[in-house]
Amino acid sequence: MGFRLIEIAEYLEAELVSASGSSDAGEIFIEGIADPESATVGKISFVSSRKYVELAKGTKASALIISPDLVSAFDIPLLVVEDPYMAYAWLSGKFVEARPAAGIHPSAVIADSAEIGSGVHVGANAVILDGAVIADNTIIGACTVVGSRVSIGSGTMLYPNVTLYHAVEIGKDCIIHAGSVIGSDGFGFAPTKSGYVKIHQLGTVIVGDNVEIGANVSIDRGALGNTEIHSGAKIDNLVHIAHNCVIGSHTALAGQVGMAGSTKIGQRCSFGGQVGIAGHLDIADDVHALGQSRVTKSVSKSGVYSSGTGTTEIKTWRKNAARFNQLDELFRRVNALEKLLDKK
């Protein structure tokens, strides 16, 4: 797999610049993408910011994707665009492994009542249960289980060992990575003196279009209503989304984010790794929580939020921990002093 540099320039609508003025630069064959440090001949790289210029100057890449203001910094063939990072994102799709060909593996088990569209690939040992509807050009990976009455939109790709419980709805052009479970029961139990009584989860999970769900993600079905993942949302590996949560369109959740039930997150939000989100909250649009933050109350105003403390040397941390336990006493003493001062 590979492309001539001129073909890449045309695809990205980039200006091809050769420091030597050679007209042969467009014929350079590009076989892949790499970062500037590890790139070798035949690879193309990119510089997304001026702070990476010095790092990239020693690159062995055959060409670079850069912005107009950085042209003078390099003497190798360049593809000049306004946004190098976005150009890299577009170009990466040219080098991805080809989708598997349409066809149904002989070992796949498909219910007679399931509807399979044209151009669908069903991998080895996949199971598709009764009433499932699989739209055109969908990929069902090996050992994946598609439950009864599930619907999957066109162009969606399920990697191996994905499990979709009954009645789950997946939109078009989605990607669900290996090991993810969509539609498992939410954590619902009624406590009694003799133990817990299970509350059966009667809703489902509805996933919009162009959603990507990472590996080993668990999204619970709703108890009565539905859990919803709106179009354009991106969910990293090892995320848990509890029952009846709503993820707004184009919101991104990084690895190990955990959400308790019935929380609603707005559009274009982002939550860093290991953010914990309590249940029954409403999070506004354009809210960004930094890694390991604890979101314990609703957020009505867009902005960047954080909580917790950074790593410190152990002796300092122990002193600070001891002083933290003294804060309540200190507050009471300061409050008493202020009252005495007010009387004077």
pTM confidence score = 0.89
Please check the confidence at residue 292 and state whether its pLDDT lies above 80.
yes
State how far the Cα of 259 lies from the Cα of 279, in Å rounded to an integer.
Answer: 7
Residue 332 backbone dihedrals phi, psi, to 5 degrees: -65, -40
pLDDT at residue 115 tops 70: yes
CB of 136 within 8 A of CB of 117? Answer: yes
Burial class (CB in 10 A: 0-12, 13-18, 19+), 166: middle
Which residues is 288 bridged to in the sheet?
270, 304
228 close to 206: Cβ distance less than 8 angstroms:
yes
Cβ count near 167 (within 10 Å): 20
Task: Retrieve residue 198's tokens.
Answer: 């299970």
Q: Are 115 and 132 in contact (CB under 8 A)?
A: yes
Residue 39: pLDDT band with limits 50, 70, 90: very high
In the residue annotation, 250 being an active-site residue is answered as no
**pLDDT reading at 91 higher than 70:** yes
DSSP 214: -
pLDDT at site 114: 98
Q: What is the pLDDT of residues 121-146, one digit of tens each?
A: 999 999 999 999 999 999 999 999 99
CA atoms of 45 and 205, how far apart (whole Å): 40
* Phi-psi domain of 19 (left: phi exceeds 0; alpha: psi -120 through 50; beta: other): alpha
What is the mean predicted confidence (pLDDT) over 292-310?
93
Locus of tokens 């150009």? 87
Which pLDDT band, with edges at 50, 70 and 90, does 167 fall under? very high
- Looking at residue 344, its pLDDT comes to 66
Which three-class secondary structure state does DSSP give residue 54? helix
Q: Are 258 and 239 in contact (CB under 8 A)?
A: yes
The active-site residue, picked from 243, 250, 280, 288, is 243
Residue-wise pLDDT tens digits, 143-163:
999 999 999 999 999 999 999
Average pLDDT, the chain: 95
* pLDDT at residue 65 is higher than 90: yes
Cβ atoms < 10 Å from Cβ of 147: 19
Calculate what percentage of the chain has a pLDDT beyond 70. Answer: 99
Region of poorest pLDDT, from 11-25, 48-62, 305-319: 11-25
CB 217 within 8 A of CB 164: no
Q: Determine the average pLDDT of the residues in 311-339.
A: 90
**Residues 308-331, mean pLDDT to the nearest whole number:** 88
Mean pLDDT of 233-246: 98
Helix (H, G, I), strand (E, B) or coil at 176: strand
What's the maximum distance between 2 C-alpha atoms anywhere in the chain? 91
Q: Burial of 302 by CB count in 10 Å (0-12 exposed, 13-18 middle, 19+ buried)?
A: middle
Indicate if the pLDDT at residue 324 is higher than 90: no
pLDDT at residue 300, as a whole number: 97
- Per-residue pLDDT, averaged over 222-234, amounts to 97
Please give the pLDDT value at position 343.
75
